[in-house]
Amino acid sequence: MGSNEDIMHDFVRRELKRLYPSVDGWQIRNAPMTGAGAGFIISRRLLGRFEGAHVLVSFDRKVTAQAAKTLKEMAASAPVAGVAASHLILMTPKGAEVSGVSPDIQILPMQSFGYDGKELVWLKRRAQMSEKTAVNTT
């Protein structure tokens, strides 16, 4: 049986598949983790050149410099074949505070999760509930 965190990471993987589709040659695989959290390695070969990125997923409300350090360690320990320097992407819920992250790391807000005040919420579920309420009140 999987945990809630496993399910949440499945949603993140789906989002990555939408952003980096296999029809465009992208391959997404789990990254070996050196710290907490989940990570992915995204890569493809296009017109004879390789592209790649390391993605670290954080569900924290406030993302610290430690997450950036973990992402850089992940990239160093599992380099993308054929890529001299992969892109570094930190995937966070919408509304997370990311001011402590260095500018060389791309912040990618999740579409499925976000913060409503101090609470982490599933945004799609909230949108579905709003739609059902609107339908039921008419």
User: Residues 64-105: pLDDT tens digits?
Assistant: 888 889 999 999 988 888 888 889 999 999 999 998 888 999
- Give mean pLDDT, residues 36-51: 86
What distance in Å separates the CA atoms of residue 138 and residue 86, rounded to the nearest whole number? 51
Please check the confidence at residue 132 and state whether its pLDDT lies above 80. no
> In this structure, how many other beta carbons lie within 10 angstroms of the beta carbon of residue 124?
12
- Is-contact 131 97, C-beta < 8 A? no
What distance in Å separates the CA atoms of residue 93 and residue 111, rounded to the nearest whole number? 8
Q: Which of these ranges, 8-12, 28-32, 112-116, has the smallest mean pLDDT?
A: 8-12
Please check the confidence at residue 8 and state whether its pLDDT lies above 90. no
What pLDDT is stored for residue 105 in this prediction?
A: 94
